[in-house]
Structure 1
């Protein structure tokens, strides 16, 4: 029980609460925020078997709730085949990378993503669609980052820039992507043995996720989402810089 209450794990619980509240409000960020902050205190390979199953709770609930909005052709023809292949490839690369290199690469990814979003937000820039082959390449690369860090969202959003889907349909489709891919990763973690040491932490953190979901839904219609997203990206930029900084 003492191992569950050490300062790094208590901090991770706080990061998870903030991250999952953010995703319930805005539709993004549960793993990338929690992992960006948590990796400053704990190894990535220890955090991922905790964060990934927790995300299934949220993504499964919202996938069912907004199931009527899912755009199945985009999901089945474009996103899932390439993301699944990339996720398996990324997972296969993890044993070749040490924890410090993983943290540095993840920090670079977070820095790029947060810098891009802050620049677009402050300059009021519109997104421009990629060509079909470029979109497929970036989607596959998003799968690789998901296999490495369970954080394929930044590159996938970039890959699908300019996709002509209403915001609600785009969000619902992405949520189902995370449910499917994180379900796959959870099975992989069970097979490689990394899931079972995380079960005690999962049991403690499930109520945190449920409260975060309720709070995020409550705040969704009461908080200026654009300003909130800017604040989140500033935090991510700082965390990404700390992770990417050479040691």
Structure 2
């Protein structure tokens, strides 16, 4: 319940009005004297200090990576609109979220990699790697505001299609052809390189490729681990603010790990059909939040 509140409240309450975050900071300082800023702490992300915005960012990271541990994707695409509002610079946020995803997937695979279908993961990595350099080029040269509305609309459309397939037997029998599936993987690689959010497009291939929810989740996490290994060095070569990215990533790692641990029992409780519905419901929310942040 609390994770849902953390995901739903910020865009409705805080992110509509920039003064709301300042009011929240003032309220916390008044009621919790230990949080009173001094020196470095009164300067937020710009100087690497810890403040209310950082803890809000950690809460978003925890909630979204808990979701990723249940479904196999969604951590970055759900966190992105909130993180951009809190940090403000997408060229810092995207590399940070990508590094977090790399750490999350590595930790999960160290615990359990028995369900990975490596042959299918290899196919996905190949086609994603074709699109990733294009995405990194857009990341460097084109303002994110140009693509956010299109990205959000595409994610919502994919989510609605998936929900309809999960609830309608006739639609469930439709299987995308190999050409369309692979084009979606290339597009997913481009979006992964530019926004770190290629999961929605990979879904169109993965849903038909993996019939078991455990294989689905574990194989997707292996995919994100391998694809992020390709993308992360390209971010550093693109000239990102390395100290800020590494600092923000380092102190948010505990939130990533707690989200991972809490996601494990939640995944076990979901049946296959419920798993698909939850999967596409979160995907719909991701698209909606991306549109709101555009």
- TM interval, short-chain normalised: 0.7 to 0.9
What is the match of residue 93 of structure 1? 138
Relative to 1, partners in 2 of residues 1:230 and 1:98: Cα closer, same or farther, differing over 3 Å? closer
Shift of 1:102: 3.6
Q: Hey, what's the Cα distance between the residues in 1 that align with 2:98 and 2:139?
A: 16
TM-score (norm 1): 0.85
Map residues 1-247 of structure 1 onto 2, 5 A cutoff. Answer: 1-2=40-41, 3=44, 4-41=49-86, 42-76=88-122, 78-121=123-166, 123=168, 125-126=171-172, 128-163=174-209, 165-194=211-240, 195-222=242-269, 226=275, 228-229=278-279, 232-233=282-283, 235-244=285-294
Where structure 1 has 5 or more consecutive residues not aligned to the other structure, the ranges are: none
Q: Hey, what's the Cα distance between the residues in 1 that align with 2:58 and 2:143?
A: 25
Deviations 1:29-80 (A, max 9, x none): 111111133234433222112111111121112223332322222222x211
- Whichever of the two has the greater Rg, that structure is 2
The 4+ residue runs of structure 1 with deviation greater than 6 A are none
Higher relative contact order (CA 8 A, sep 6+): 1
Relative to 1, partners in 2 of residues 1:233 and 1:138: Cα closer, same or farther, differing over 3 Å? closer
Deviations 1:85-106 (A, max 9, x none): 2111211122331132143333
Q: CA RMSD in A?
A: 2.6
Name the SS of the counterpart of 1:162 in structure 2: helix
Shift of 1:111: 2.6
Q: Hey, what's the Cα distance between the residues in 2 that align with 1:58 and 1:160?
A: 20
Q: Hey, what's the Cα distance between the residues in 1 that align with 2:288 and 2:145?
A: 18
Shift of 1:121: 4.3
